[in-house]
Chains A and B, each alone.
Chain A
Amino acid sequence: QKEVEQDPGPLSVPEGAIVSLNCTYSNSAFQYFMWYRQYSRKGPELLMYTYSSGNKEDGRFTAQVDKSSKYISLFIRDSQPSDSATYLCAMKQTGANNLFFGTGTRLTVIP
């Protein structure tokens, strides 16, 4: 079992829809939770990160962390065709160096 599980999709939604992306994890020591966006043939681009449980909002993006369930989510409101990309969740322990990534979910927003 991988430490971070993420449904690879693909996920297709119409423009303007609300998108929900999720990851589960098994390591209760993870304290930092990140969402990266990766366009084709590009490197991952950091969207948001949160520490421990709770919500964080940035424009059309909202990240949620539920440590009791070991479950994190990214919501995208009013989705746009430019949001079409692969979304990667990533996690880190306090004091550790490396990130643990999910497989990535490929999202397509249809105009």
Chain B
Amino acid sequence: GAGVSQSPRYKVAKRGQDVALRCDPISGHVSLFWYQQALGQGPEFLTYFQNEAQLDKSGLPSDRFFAERPEGSVSTLKIQRTQQEDSAVYLCASSLDEFRGLYQPQHFGDGTRLSIL
């Protein structure tokens, strides 16, 4: 497809369950980002990949959150032992590489809406 694709669009899980959220970036985009958007708030950065390398995970809120991008394309965000405060929309974005410092805008998917009961 032409845009960033995320699945599932909606996920309901019971507290304590593990969940996995998938992101399929725009073809050719080497940079991939995950953000968390709480209700009524702006997105907050979680982690960043350049190809398969996770270069920044400073925004992950706890060690229950884990992200991977093993082949430098599709990425998965995994949340273990989910808590109610994990309920949010999880957004994925991708961009071209900032070659020679030229800014490349981030393009977002429609997100996965996660509800923890």
B26 at the interface (CB under 8 A from A): no
Contact B110 A32 (CB under 8 A): no
The total of interchain contacts (Cβ-Cβ below 8 angstroms) comes to 58
With A8-B40, A103-B41 given, is the CB distance from A49 to B91 under 8 Å?
Answer: no
A104 and chain B: residue at smallest CB distance: B42
Contact B110 A42 (CB under 8 A): yes
> How many residues belonging to B are interface residues under a CB distance threshold of 8 Å?
25
Cβ-defined partner of A101 (8 Å) among B44, B105, B110, B111: B44
A101 and chain B: residue at smallest CB distance: B42
Q: Hey, which bits of chain A sit against chain B, CB under 8 A?
A: 4, 6, 8, 32, 34, 36, 41-46, 49, 51, 88, 90, 92, 94-95, 97-104
* Smallest CB-CB A-B distances: 5 pairs: A101-B42, A98-B45, A43-B108, A97-B48, A43-B110
